[in-house]
A = this chain, B = another copy of it.
């Protein structure tokens, strides 16, 4: 850590407050586009107002599901401002950032903080994946953490990036006062547990979350603090119910709920992707809408499969 981190950090809400808001289910929402393919803020506001009342703990704007990489700088700002305004008080509001260079990531972090982020979900750089060893990643995240006006949540999603944050690297970065958590979307539970052990959870000032709905319950059983789940956009109450059951120590119930969650979670993530997730939202009366190319909408068979899965899971909503 750079001891010359900006003084304004002292005047922020203490970083230790943020991790508590990660101890629940957060929604990394998709970005709704209108028929013309442009971002439509009214659709997003409507979605968020409905999600506000589902028991979730917060939102993540501009995550992988939010097609952040498909949006230009101005669109990103509008998504953040729109979502920030619609988010209910008391809910965490996290914004996804992360360019390939450290300098651009620092600049983006400043913009996102200005636009209202409580914290930033910072993805690993990855285009030069062969060079992204632990040392390079640590230096990158420390530089961003030193500069950022708001705290960071590290984002590990090797299935998209080809870069995995090692538990040792997370533990080292967890010593930085402006790094308050991890979203681990890898689904690698052994690695998640090693991270929990090395980070020394439970900790007041750091929260480990899973980003893989397929291992929500076992991750919680293993000590994860919360979850940031694309599938939770579709079945928020079911995800919250798994979390609550696990927190209450009722693992039999958590296990049964997880089993109901699994097929639909799979369909709207790895199965049919963001197009599938948006189709599911449309079916549920949210505003899903189109994806941007080169992503493609689900075909008719996929839509029917999604519809069937939603009906099956319906009684739990």
Q: Which residues of A contact B (CB under 8 A)?
A: 37, 64, 67, 69-70, 72, 99-104, 125, 127-132, 135-137, 139-140, 143, 159-160, 162, 187-190, 193-194, 196-197, 212, 214-215, 217-219, 221-223, 249, 251-252, 255, 258-259, 262, 266, 270, 273-275, 292-296
Contact = CB atoms under 8 A, between A and B. Distances in A.
B127 A292 contact: no
Given A69-B99, A193-B258, 5 more contacts: A67-B101, A70-B103, A131-B275, A193-B259, A218-B219
Contacts of A143: 293
A130 B185 CA distance: 15
Contacts of A140: 293-294
A140 B249 CA distance: 42
B193 A294 contact: no
Copies of this protein, total? 4
12 contacts: A70-B100, A72-B104, A125-B294, A128-B160, A130-B273, A131-B273, A131-B296, A140-B294, A187-B190, A190-B214, A197-B262, A217-B221
